[in-house]
Structure 1
Amino acid sequence: MGLFKKRQKKLDSQEVGLDIGMIFLKFFLDTEYLHYGFWENGLEPEVKNLRAAQINYTNHLFSHIPEGVKTILDVGSGTGKVAEQLIKKGYQVDCVSPSKRLTARIKELLSDKAEVFHGRYEDVKIDKKYDLVLFSESFQYIDMQTNFEKSAQYLKEGGHILICDFFRYQEHNHRPLGGGHWLDQYKEILAKHPFDIIKDEDITDKIAPTMTVVNTFTMEAIRPSFELGMDLFQDRFPRIHRFVNWKFKKKLAGTREKHFKGERNEANFKKFKTYRLILLQKRAH
């Protein structure tokens, strides 16, 4: 087989995106949080304030952990930064991480303070039960039917699920911002599982300014860098540039359409998304 061995699988774009996010945020902003910011008390949505807004988010999330919770399963743990803060507060935390790079970072950060289950939540096998299963911007990546089944399995009686993530509105067709489960579908699937809604808080207005930061950086830094790079490529390698433009015409146009039109902004986030903090409790038999 040798050189002609068939490629087994492609890189996961979501996983690669998270890895790039980790590198970027750590290098440029001295933060390892991979989640949105929570903008309150007059904090201006600027790049320099993102880390402070992310800390606000973490504090708001932690304030909704019910009393009596001791053990937490952090699903989609990112760099392990949230888990690290939970451990410092006295919780016993385990992590689920599908990314090899992020899993390595979690183990480096937490050492032997937490058990790390590498793989997708749908696939991992865990022989433990927890007081709380946490989804901090990871709920959107997991099949909801499987998610609720596995979470019910891993929770103690009376245990909780804490979700902090965004959802899409069913009635909107044009979506400059992708991602997120449909809110209506979430409600339909949840109704079939043994969980009661303790809290469902819409925090979209506090989260959406993050998109101002993202859009500003994209339009003022990433877009001109991309275009300058393409210009240099054309100047140095005109024939290859023509071939690339022909071969990947649709993909290049799609990239510009998706990322460089300025539509991934705060106003559209509020229009097409609802960002919610949801606390569920497992019903007793």
Structure 2
Amino acid sequence: MARKKIDTRGLGLDIGLTFSKWLTGAENLHYGYWDGLEVCAANFGVAQVAYTDLVFERLPKAPCRILDIGGGAGETARKLIAMGHQVEIVIPSAFLASRCRENAPEAVVHEATFQDAQPEGPFDVCLFSESFQYIPLDQGIAKCLSLLAPGGRIVIADCFRSEGFKSDTVQATVGGGHPILAFRDLVKSLKLQVSQEIDITAQVAPSIDLEQGLFNVVGYAGQRVDAEMAAHRPRVRSVLHWVWRRLMSQRKRARLDQRLNHKTRNAAHFSANNTYLMLVLTPA
């Protein structure tokens, strides 16, 4: 009988959301907006709320019908519904879909990729909050245009690869998304109007420093345990190292060491490779 693969993505999401809720009281996985805030774990929840508030400033004032594409665990939808909006969520993960139904029971949840989902328009807003980068560039906006009501808008808050983006196989260049130049060419070809655009790269980048700090704590704990074993249980340590080298390739070990014990993935590295935008697009 074939061995079932471990759902590492679902496992990671489960752990990430549990940690986020423990730290902030909410199941959010998006960046924080650190304008004027001290970058520390105690302020992470505040920074995430500031980010969400900035997204909401791109929405119409009157209650409207919103399609939340890639709606995470439903925290954004829950807030939108409390503001009087009608919300439908598109989410491909079964685990996240279950969290959406729990956190935003009034929302309609489409458990599918945006490409395959079949929500019934029209919608006043198609919202991408850190989900645009996961949808093929030539499909996301085009499908939104088929779902928008007259006078509707597409709101995008996401990371784009800047012109200076450099991939690193060991360091794993932080950030990503669609190349910014290709995105701008698409917007121009579709004759969309960019009615709002703000660059918040500098304000979200500190989230990377906070995340890296957490990994460094884990790395420090591992180093301390390894040092104690070297001093008091050298034979057991040698066996564990032998097993470790056979379970993981040298490249993966180097990448993990980079992640846990170094600080090259930082706000400056993020800002050099990425452009983080909040945009409102409207049909001409």
Instruction: Calculate the TM-score normalised by the size of structure 2.
Output: 0.87
Pair 1:115 & 2:108 matched: yes
Q: Kindly state the Cα deviation for residue 237 of structure 1 after the two structures are TM-superposed.
A: 7.3
Pair 1:243 & 2:243 matched: yes
SS at match of 1:181: coil
SS at match of 2:189: coil
Distance (whole Å) between structure 2 residues aligned to residue 137 and residue 169 of structure 1: 16
Pair 1:134 & 2:127 matched: yes
Q: Kindly state the Cα deviation for residue 138 of structure 1 after the two structures are TM-superposed.
A: 0.8
Unaligned residue ranges in structure 2 (runs of 5+): none
Corresponding position of 2:180: 183
Cα gap change, 1:222/1:156 in structure 2, threshold over 3 Å: closer, same or farther?
Answer: same
Which one is further off, 141-150 or 235-244? 235-244
Match 1:213 to one of 172, 186, 210: 210
Which amino acid in the other structure matches residue 181 of structure 2?
A: D
Corresponding position of 1:224: 220
Q: Is the 8 A contact 1:84 1:110 kept in 2?
A: yes
**Superposition pairs for residues 21-32 of structure 1, below 5 Å?**
21-32=16-27
Corresponding position of 2:155: 162
Q: Kindly state the Cα deviation for residue 28 of structure 1 after the two structures are TM-superposed.
A: 3.2
Q: Kindly state the Cα deviation for residue 64 of structure 1 after the two structures are TM-superposed.
A: 1.5
Which one is further off, 151-160 or 251-260? 251-260
Unaligned residue ranges in structure 1 (runs of 5+): none
| CA shift digits 1:166-200 (9 cap, x unpaired) | 11113332553142211111112222325221111
**Superposition pairs for residues 50-199 of structure 1, below 5 Å?**
50-68=44-62, 70-111=64-105, 113-174=106-167, 176-199=173-196
SS at match of 2:243: helix
SS at match of 1:58: helix
Cα gap change, 1:125/1:226 in structure 2, threshold over 3 Å: closer, same or farther?
Answer: farther
| CA shift digits 1:205-263 (9 cap, x unpaired) | 221121221122221x2212344577779865754641331341332222223454211
Distance (whole Å) between structure 2 residues aligned to residue 83 and residue 223 of structure 1: 36
Cα gap change, 1:171/1:20 in structure 2, threshold over 3 Å: closer, same or farther?
Answer: same
Q: Is the 8 A contact 1:234 1:241 kept in 2?
A: no
Cα gap change, 1:178/1:57 in structure 2, threshold over 3 Å: closer, same or farther?
Answer: closer
Which amino acid in the other structure matches residue 202 of structure 1?
A: D
Report the identity percentage: 30
Q: CA RMSD in A?
A: 2.5
Q: Kindly state the Cα deviation for residue 71 of structure 1 after the two structures are TM-superposed.
A: 0.4
Q: Is the 8 A contact 2:176 2:274 kept in 1?
A: no
Distance (whole Å) between structure 1 residues aligned to residue 122 and residue 34 of structure 2: 34
Distance (whole Å) between structure 2 residues aligned to residue 35 and residue 168 of structure 1: 17
Which amino acid in the other structure matches residue 220 of structure 2?
A: P
Which amino acid in the other structure matches residue 97 of structure 1?
A: I
Distance (whole Å) between structure 2 residues aligned to residue 80 and residue 67 of structure 1: 21
Instruction: Calculate the TM-score normalised by the size of structure 1.
Output: 0.87
Q: Kindly state the Cα deviation for residue 162 of structure 1 after the two structures are TM-superposed.
A: 0.5
Distance (whole Å) between structure 1 residues aligned to residue 257 and residue 44 of structure 2: 25
Distance (whole Å) between structure 2 residues aligned to residue 234 and residue 82 of structure 1: 51
SS at match of 1:191: helix
Which amino acid in the other structure matches residue 131 of structure 2?
A: S
Corresponding position of 2:263: 262
Distance (whole Å) between structure 1 residues aligned to residue 226 and residue 122 of structure 2: 52
Q: Kindly state the Cα deviation for residue 127 of structure 1 after the two structures are TM-superposed.
A: 2.3
SS at match of 1:28: helix
Cα gap change, 1:107/1:149 in structure 2, threshold over 3 Å: closer, same or farther?
Answer: same
